[in-house]
Amino acid sequence: MVTADTQAALAALTATYTSTLSFYLNAQRVSLEVPDPTITLLEYIRSTGLTGTKLGCAEGGCGACTVLVQSWEDGKVVSKSVNACIAPLISVDGKHVVTVEGIGNSTAPHPVQERIAIMHGSQCGFCTPGIVMSLYALLQQNPEPTEAEVEECWDGNLCRCTGYRPILDAGKTFATGCGRAGGCCRDKKKADANGIGNGSGDSTPVKNDKVDGNGLLDGEVDFTSKPKKAPATSPSPSDKTNCCRTTPSNPKQPPPSTPAFALYEPSKDLAFPAKLMNFTPSALAFGTPTRRWLRPTSLDELLKIKAICPSAKVVGGSSEVQIEAKFKGVNFAVSVYTGDISELRTAEFAEEGLVVGANITLSSLEGVLDEACEHFGEKGSAPYRALLKTLRGFAGRQIRNVATPAGNIATASPISDLNPVLMATGSKLVMESVNGGTSECYIRDFFKGYRSTALEPEAVITKLVIPASKEREWVQSYKQAKRKDDDIAIVNAGMRVRLGGGNVVEEIDLCYGGMAPTTVAAKKTMAFLKGKVWGEKDVLEGAMKSLEEDFNLPFGVPGGMPIYRKSLAFSFFFKFWSEVTTAMTGTAVEDDDLPHAEITRNISAGWRDEETPNDGNNAIVGKPLPHVAALKQVTGEAQYIDDLPRFSNELYGCLVLSTKAHAKVVRVDTDAALDMPGVAGYVDHTDLPSPEANWWGAPRCDEVFFAVDEVFCAGQPIGFILADTKAHAQAAARAVVVEYEELPAIFTMEEAIAQDSFFPHYRFIKRDGDDMDGAFAKADHVFEGVARMGGQEHFYLETNAAMAVWKPEDGEMDVYSSTQNPTETQTYAAKVTGVPANRVVCKVKRMGGGFGGKETRSVQLSSICAIAAKKMKRPVRCMLDRDEDMATSGQRHPFLSKWKVGVNNDGKLVALDADVFCNGGWTQDLSGAIVERALSHIDNVYYIPHVNVRGRVCKTNIHSNTAFRGFGGPQGMFICESYMSEIADQLNMSVDRLREINFYKEGQKTHFNQVLEDFHVPQIYEQIKVEADYDERRKAVDEFNKTHRWRKRGLALIPTKFGISFTALFLNQAGALVHIYHDGSILLAHGGTEMGQGLHTKMCMVAAEELGVPLENVHISETATNTVANTSSTAASASSDLNGMAIKNACDQINERLKPYREKLGPDATMKQLATAAYFDRVNLSANGFYKTPTVGYEWGNENSKPMFFYFTQGAAIAEVEIDTLTGDWKCERADVKMDIGRTINQAIDYGQIEGAFVQGMGLFTMEESLWLRHNGNLFTKGPGAYKIPGFRDVPVSFNLSMLKGVPWKNLRTIQRSKGVGEPPLFMGSAVFFAMRDAIKSARKDAGNTGLLALYSPATPERIRLACTDEITERAHVNAKEKEHNWFIQP
């Protein structure tokens, strides 16, 4: 709290400061006389109606909010991508802010927007504007980037849909390093028909304003032709035969084609406002008595402010401050923005080394460090090289563009990336204050405790001095995180050693982050090493023993992972020891088997087989057409729930959530909250029409919208605060007081099994399973094991969002929701408002991703908004923040299976007995159906004569888990491939051979008694082995592993079959409505929702094909319950099948009515002519189509029931990985996927689904780990800071896709003979996991560990490292004391 005297003194000091904030937004001047001190740049931008910039996480971790910020510095324009969600509004004074709307629109897109759109780089589209702006920002700073710079520009962006490959391909069309010097060959206009160029080998064409013979407008580039035959001599860089896009990553395959797109001309980009070139910053002061912003423009002004108000929060990049304010509710009464003080952004080379202003941005520091390396030369630049390595793995580009060394140091984070290196190099800080003058402090003396430093309250850090290295001095930095890019460290380190004569250690610094409450030096080890001879074995052994004393972590250490963290500390030192020893002894640095060699990535590439399985008879279906909304998505025009225009009387809601895992609710006090500014009301269970109306759930109605007397998980809704703004609602929600009486809680499946905590749902499947004992007795071997895999957060970029609009007549209400299930949304909105369903209309334009997470869980928020809208008689809107969404909405189910398998000596499987458990959370939701699908997929593609598998749903006190892409199928198949791998190891047989021996054959029955038709897995398996050189690569991997101890490679080939249909029979139906207007345009409605999977695109293609019209004639406005009623949720990979057939049914009706007019008017008649003629003859031009899936109808327990699935989508994937056995770091070097998806409706969309599913599956099985805090039962991983999905540079370096062709699909009776593709490829990502397992086995063999490897999912770096057992992991072992538990819970 700032005292009145301090406020008065500040007012006097800042009396001459201006309160007007001025900047340019998309080249338009903005002048704010009284800016709101509480809002971010993103909140301001969106308040102006520019809604293209999205809120994805509010912590600068996903990039959805990326904008370009330009400033005039040192006589030039400096362009930077910035996270608008954490940027304070004051930071853009005097700058030019550019949003996605400012660079183009859907009719005139910028080349960045156009290329991402037509190269299929946008699916749900929610992340797309941020991705567009990151690339645009790069091009503004460097119009001719390298491919590496293109990949790097997106290290702060996330996409959950695409798998990144098409975005990377689009971005690299702007790169100079893509096959020709000076720019992309596609950025040159075609030469004329005679091939006349400019004589230089460049392909710049003659100017031509007309359409050329290829149908291209002037300025468009044709790249659809096949490459020319390579000349006898080496091609020039500009020759298209040398283009990156005609060089497939799989050399056996033909080159890909690429669509035409417009020339990129940087001179046509949005110009920097000329008036800003003369802008001189003035000191700024504005705000309210409770929140005030100051922006000094000189160091003197800053020091005076701090002298008067020592508690004033100094803000550089705001990357930490905004998170504290947003998620911790910290109110900084006075904040001082220092980004425009030029004295704090200097850099100079001094005698002792590099001296930089403490407020230089980290991206600018990168450039300075590059210069320092050149200035100080090889001998003196060791610290700067180490810092460069650190910075290039520090956060994302948007954060580095604003974050500063002073901010990173002063926050005193124990896992700061900079501090260990700065401490090790003997760097020091220069601090200044009015009263204390100038002082210096070495980094090693700066940290006093957790988040506590030696910086006096009135002082500021002004400079950072980084000394140059001396002769025979080595410096290195290390970091290990869950993900390479934009991730916080688990452990990091900075190490420095200087050796004297005889290699005696004269100086040594070993500094670590992540091993203590502060950055800490390994003092005992340093003391031991000083004076010792570097390189001697006994010295290494002594140092390792000393490290054990330095880092004796307890089992329950905060932050968890005690064994892994110790292993990393030891391994980092071992790497440093190796590197220095290698350098001083002259061992060839090229020897890549040295312990210090680190895993690096090449520029990624990919290939798609563009030959389709289709017969070519269709005009539209089968073509790789872009998503129908792609141009709207890349330009920010596509609207999502929170983009809908505000109503004048609208209220914003914020949930009051339980903070306890299981407790009685003693008291809820809302008095203080209701007295807060802007608050209009509060809603809880007492506002429903009856107690029964509070209950919801599918299929069991066992969950309440609002808690009544008791809470069963942290994150369960208790109430709903309503206010005029989101900020007011959130502040009031924090002010609601809830008193609890805690009760015992169950979190894990193991705890639930031990306490017999299950839901009543129980299923089993038997095939000749009555005499399992006899079957096992006949088997040559019987093996038992346990398979376990964790859950997965959906991480759709658009969180759950809804708006309920109350109407004054008849209890009517419109509900706009980001949902996959409009009908259930309608049903429960009607229930909670006490009206029939015909009074409620649910509308869904599109979702920013769903993946199953919005199949049922979206109903909770939309219904609560409906309750509030009815009570307040006003529109109510709510979009959950990322942490709220993750805490409340559930995720993929963790699974545990105890299996027993009988197998003969020849590898033939005999019998499978398994108990399968999933963690359902506190209510059932869809858990029963999910465990059923796991049971039906536990065979994967293998015939097992005797089967008895049983499934139970564990009841625990975590959020209710729910549907997620695959719906239990991936878990069942993972169990299968786990037991196959372990059996193969114990038989000493190749797992590939074991798989081949046990493949199903066409016509055999599954364990649930379904005959397999069109079974192509063996064919796919053999084809992909040949196409991807599997056998040769297997030999190469084995040879690599023979010669490498510290890095290992692994290879795996994983097949799949995935059943397509809802297992609940009644859901296998769909409706459609087709209207033809007499201008020939067609309005299409169907029951499916668009979440990025391209469903609307496919359905428009089906309608256009059936009606014989161009695609642009067909339009889908939205999905709504008043156009198509009683819809099934968009799920189960069945939506194209169901809705496509319903559309065909409607089109067939209309075609029959139009048949006489086609005969009369001839085959060339347009739809306008046909419709007009029919209209005047009073012919109905509307049709309601319907379809239900035939033949299916499985009945549990009835061996003679109908089939469970309509058909199976099949495929196989090969993954090759490389792991670092000392750290658990890894990369996927290559992935090849081949899918049988029938005759594709849209090849590009289907490939996009395959790529996106594979990468999402790779995340599931490798890096995505959900963790709960043991001490309070709350979810820890509830944002991109702690929960890591794959990023741009996690995708396979070489990623190749193909489709099965040349088979008849004689039993496939779907729309156009296509197959569902949304879910089946996800399990293909497990090939990366099993390749890791292959690599780990080699490491264990080298270490003499012959024990069976039981690897649980996800295979995080921690699991990889600890599975690679060696002397270091033995040293690092930590025993749990009595009643001591790990810091985290893995449910």
**Among all residues, which ones are annotated catalytic?**
1319
Query: For residue 84, how many C-alpha atoms fall within 13 Å in the half-sphere facing its CB?
Result: 29
Class of residue 1083 by CB neighbours under 10 A (exposed 0-12, middle 13-18, buried 19+): middle
The Cα–Cα gap between 1384 and 736 comes to: 28
Count the Cβ atoms, other than its own, within 10 Å of residue 1315. 28
Count the Cβ atoms, other than its own, within 10 Å of residue 525. 23
Tokens linked to 882:
């990322």
Q: For residues 1007 and 943, is the Cβ–Cβ distance under 8 A?
A: no
Residues contacting residue 630 through CB under 8 Å, at least 6 positions apart: 116, 117, 118, 120, 122, 125
Cα 235 from chain centroid (whole Å): 40
What's the full length of the chain, in residues?
1387
H or E, element range at 82: strand 76-83
Q: For residues 441 and 428, is the Cβ–Cβ distance under 8 A?
A: yes
Tokens linked to 591:
């020897």
3-state helix, strand, coil in the chain (%, to 5): 35, 20, 45
Q: For residues 1062 and 1068, is the Cβ–Cβ distance under 8 A?
A: yes
Q: For residues 514 and 491, is the Cβ–Cβ distance under 8 A?
A: yes
Nearest to 1317 by CA among 1238, 1255, 1204, 1205: 1238
The Cα–Cα gap between 366 and 198 comes to: 39
Cα 522 from chain centroid (whole Å): 36
Tokens linked to 1363:
């599975």
Q: Check the CA dihedral 70-71-76-80 and report its sign.
A: negative
Residues contacting residue 1366 through CB under 8 Å, at least 6 positions apart: 1221, 1339, 1343
H or E, element range at 967: none
Only one residue has tokens 């209890």, namely 811
Tokens linked to 827:
């049903």
The Cα–Cα gap between 1062 and 1345 comes to: 45
Q: For residues 1023 and 1097, is the Cβ–Cβ distance under 8 A?
A: no
Tokens linked to 1025:
């082995």
**C-alpha distances out from residue 145 to 141, 174, 614, Å:** 9, 7, 39
Tokens linked to 905:
């000596």
Name residue 782's beta-bridge partners: 902
Residues contacting residue 768 through CB under 8 Å, at least 6 positions apart: 775, 945, 946, 947
Tokens linked to 602:
């090449």
Nearest to 973 by CA among 903, 914, 1050: 914
The Cα–Cα gap between 1384 and 1387 comes to: 10
Q: Check the CA dihedral 1380-1382-1383-1387 and report its sign.
A: negative
Cα 482 from chain centroid (whole Å): 13
Tokens linked to 1054:
């994983």
Only one residue has tokens 């299976």, namely 897
Cα 1059 from chain centroid (whole Å): 26
**C-alpha distances out from residue 1245 to 124, 1028, 1210, 1338, Å:** 12, 23, 17, 39
Cα 602 from chain centroid (whole Å): 21
